[in-house]
């Protein structure tokens, strides 16, 4: 039986383990964290939405929605095991010049068969009670003149997607996939750090761990999240890549919702390209994140082990931007939420691919906008690995992948490490 070694027990690493184990591979997952889903996954906003800037990602997300909507059927765990829960709330996406007033997104929804509803500006309050319809773009910094002041006129409406929501516990979702993989024979080794990628006869042969142990394997899969770039350097595969990844520091706020509504119960997902924030219901009230406007400095982390987890004025800025759209939102004096690291590629689209080192594969550049695609990403990696190990030249003839729930086929060359930078991307967490 062929042996796959997976580095990283986040939600995509665990999904890959599950799919490979189901396909008949012997699977060992190693992670330096104490449990599955401990790092970027546990800090994910866990939003499930369909809209992206690129057709293939829209198709993946719509396919992925089918798995989250039927999570118990997918993971098939024994009765009594706790399950992550998907809450369907709908997703309101504000039209803006920066997203082309969603014309391209609606065209892609028509292609994949996903329903949506256009929302007139006057009807915004039906979905988001008390929302201020004024236009605030372009985003500014607090030190800029006109910060948080209207810039004239109203937004051009929105698009509502009924098939969207969030997962209540992203770490538990990863653990569900771990347990599902273990039921098919996979093993997990936590508190285990990889010191070297072993090679023999021109291909990967295993992993050397920090305790000196060498795990022999036929393939190695890098799903290391913010550490993936370092693992690629360790494997010596970065020179063969035209798209690379870096760790990006982000702050996300969790605060009480607006006083005019119970956002925990009645709130929806909101992606607001005008105020440059996204919103999600949360047990404490509301989760607020940034959609990375051009005026904000992007903080890149060279050493993910040394990231500063203290809140900065970024937290206050994103909450104040949210209060533009929700004037009943109260800004607390004490910051609360998470400081997280995203594993980001040059065009903010993931790399699901082989490498120039035979037997070394990668699922990276996926943090920030790929949680929702994890079940499909696991299947994609199993497909690429199976085809390449059987002799297929994925670089010359990219593997095609059938999305069974929505009955569409995509080229996995979209996520190649050798692709040209995808200019259709939003170059932000929106993907």
How does pLDDT run across 246-288, given as a tens digit for each residue? Answer: 999 999 999 999 999 999 999 999 999 999 999 999 999 999 9
Which whole-number Å values give the CA distances from 291 to 48, 247, 254, in the listed order?
16, 16, 16
Based on the fold, state whether residues 278 and 411 are members of the same structural domain: no
pLDDT at residue 167 greater than cutoff 80: yes
Based on the fold, state whether residues 38 and 65 are members of the same structural domain: yes
Residues 168, 135: Cα–Cα separation, whole Å = 32
Asked whether residue 427 is domain-assigned, the answer is no
Within 10 angstroms of residue 73's Cβ, the number of other Cβ atoms is 9
DSSP code per residue over 184-227? TT-EEE-S--EEEEEEETTEEEEEEETTS-EEE-SEEEE--GGG
Contact (Cβ atoms closer than 8 angstroms) between residue 98 and residue 200: no
Based on the fold, state whether residues 158 and 272 are members of the same structural domain: yes
Based on the fold, state whether residues 250 and 336 are members of the same structural domain: yes
Confidence of residue 151 (pLDDT cuts 50, 70, 90): very high
Based on the fold, state whether residues 236 and 177 are members of the same structural domain: yes
Residues 36, 176: Cα–Cα separation, whole Å = 9
Asked whether residue 19 is domain-assigned, the answer is yes
Looking at residue 120, its pLDDT comes to: 98
User: What does the pLDDT average to over 164-186?
Assistant: 98
224-248: pLDDT as tens digits: 999 999 999 999 999 999 999 999 9
End-to-end CA distance of the chain: 37
pLDDT at residue 350 greater than cutoff 80: yes
Contact (Cβ atoms closer than 8 angstroms) between residue 207 and residue 7: yes
Spell out where 201-336 has E strands. 203-209, 214-216, 219-222, 245-255, 269-272, 277-282, 285-290, 299-301
Based on the fold, state whether residues 287 and 353 are members of the same structural domain: no
Domain boundary among 300, 324, 340: 340
Asked whether residue 421 is domain-assigned, the answer is no
Indicate the average pLDDT of the chain.
96
H-assigned helices in 267-355:
313-325
Based on the fold, state whether residues 284 and 257 are members of the same structural domain: yes
**CATH number for the domain including 128?**
3.30.9.10
Based on the fold, state whether residues 215 and 305 are members of the same structural domain: no
Asked whether residue 191 is domain-assigned, the answer is yes
Residues 304, 248: Cα–Cα separation, whole Å = 9
Range name among 70-74, 220-224, 241-245, 365-369 with the lowest pLDDT average: 365-369
Based on the fold, state whether residues 69 and 122 are members of the same structural domain: no
Confidence of residue 367 (pLDDT cuts 50, 70, 90): confident
Total domains, the chain: 2
47-58: pLDDT as tens digits: 999 999 999 999
**CATH number for the domain including 393?**
3.50.50.60
Looking at residue 364, its pLDDT comes to: 97
Looking at residue 28, its pLDDT comes to: 98
Domain that holds residue 27: 3-83+169-244+347-415
Contact (Cβ atoms closer than 8 angstroms) between residue 106 and residue 116: yes
Based on the fold, state whether residues 183 and 101 are members of the same structural domain: no
Name 158's Cβ contacts closer than 8 Å, sequence gap at least 6. Answer: 92, 93, 94, 95, 118, 119, 124, 127
User: What does the pLDDT average to over 61-73?
Assistant: 98
370-426: pLDDT as tens digits: 999 999 999 999 999 999 999 999 999 999 999 999 999 999 999 999 999 999 999
Confidence of residue 429 (pLDDT cuts 50, 70, 90): confident
Looking at residue 1, its pLDDT comes to: 84
306-349: pLDDT as tens digits: 999 999 999 999 999 999 999 999 999 999 999 989 999 999 99
Asked whether residue 50 is domain-assigned, the answer is yes
Contact (Cβ atoms closer than 8 angstroms) between residue 223 and residue 364: yes
Asked whether residue 424 is domain-assigned, the answer is no
Domain boundary among 310, 340, 370: 340
Name 4's Cβ contacts closer than 8 Å, sequence gap at least 6. Answer: 17, 20, 25, 26, 27, 28, 217, 218, 219, 220, 221, 385
Looking at residue 229, its pLDDT comes to: 97
User: Which candidate, 195, 230, 245, places its Cα nearest to that of 306?
Assistant: 230
Name 340's Cβ contacts closer than 8 Å, sequence gap at least 6. Answer: 40, 43, 44, 249, 250, 251, 252, 367
Residues 286, 279: Cα–Cα separation, whole Å = 7
Q: How would you class 332 by CB atoms within 10 Å of its CB: exposed for 0-12, middle for 13-18, buried for 19 or more?
A: exposed
Name 333's Cβ contacts closer than 8 Å, sequence gap at least 6. Answer: none
pTM over 0.95: yes
Based on the fold, state whether residues 290 and 358 are members of the same structural domain: no
Which whole-number Å values give the CA distances from 12 to 166, 254, 350, in the listed order?
17, 24, 11
Based on the fold, state whether residues 322 and 262 are members of the same structural domain: yes
Confidence of residue 97 (pLDDT cuts 50, 70, 90): very high
Cis peptide before 11 (omega within 30 of 0): no
Looking at residue 81, its pLDDT comes to: 95
Asked whether residue 155 is domain-assigned, the answer is yes
Domain boundary among 314, 340, 366: 340
22-33: pLDDT as tens digits: 999 999 999 999
Residue with tokens 């803006």: 96
């Amino acid at each position: 039986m062929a042996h796959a070694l997976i580095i990283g027990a986040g939600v995509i690493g665990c999904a890959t383990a599950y799919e490979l184990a189901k396909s008949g591979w012997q699977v060992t997952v190693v992670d330096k964290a104490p449990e599955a889903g401990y790092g970027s996954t546990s800090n994910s906003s866990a939003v499930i939405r369909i809209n992206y800037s690129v057709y293939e990602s829209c198709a993946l997300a719509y396919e992925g929605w089918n798995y989250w909507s039927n999570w118990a059927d997918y993971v098939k765990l024994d009765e009594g095991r706790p399950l992550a829960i998907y809450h369907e709330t709908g997703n309101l996406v504000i039209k803006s010049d920066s997203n082309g007033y969603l014309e391209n997104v609606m065209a892609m929804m028509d292609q994949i068969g996903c329903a949506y509803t256009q929302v007139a500006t006057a009807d915004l309050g039906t979905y988001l009670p008390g929302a201020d319809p004024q236009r605030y773009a372009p985003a500014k910094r607090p030190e800029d003149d006109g910060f948080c002041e209207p810039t004239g006129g109203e937004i051009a409406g929105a698009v509502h997607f009924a098939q969207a929501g969030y997962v209540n516990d992203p770490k538990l979702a990863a653990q569900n996939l771990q347990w599902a993989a273990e039921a098919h024979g996979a093993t997990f080794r936590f508190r285990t750090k990889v010191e070297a990628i072993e090679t023999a006869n021109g291909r990967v042969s295993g992993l050397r761990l920090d305790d000196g142990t060498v795990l022999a394997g036929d393939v190695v899969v890098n799903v290391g999240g913010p550490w993936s770039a370092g693992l690629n350097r360790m494997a010596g595969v970065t020179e063969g890549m035209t798209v690379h990844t870096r760790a990006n520091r982000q702050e996300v706020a969790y605060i009480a919702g607006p006083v005019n509504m119970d956002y925990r119960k009645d709130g929806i997902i909101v992606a607001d390209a005008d105020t440059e924030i996204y919103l999600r219901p949360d047990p404490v009230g509301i989760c607020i994140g940034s959609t990375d406007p051009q005026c904000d400095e992007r903080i890149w982390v060279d050493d993910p082990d040394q990231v500063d987890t203290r809140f900065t004025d970024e937290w206050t800025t994103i909450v104040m931007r949210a209060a533009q759209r929700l004037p009943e939102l109260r800004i607390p004096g004490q910051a609360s939420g998470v400081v997280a690291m995203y594993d980001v590629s040059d065009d903010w689209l993931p790399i699901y691919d082989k490498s120039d080192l035979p037997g070394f594969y990668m699922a990276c550049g996926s943090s920030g906008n790929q949680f929702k695609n994890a079940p499909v990403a696991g299947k994609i990696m199993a497909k690429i690995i199976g085809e390449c190990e059987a002799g297929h030249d994925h670089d010359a003839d990219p593997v095609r992948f059938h999305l069974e729930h929505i009955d569409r086929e995509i080229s996995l060359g979209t996520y190649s490490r050798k692709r040209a930078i995808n200019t259709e991307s939003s170059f932000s967490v929106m993907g």
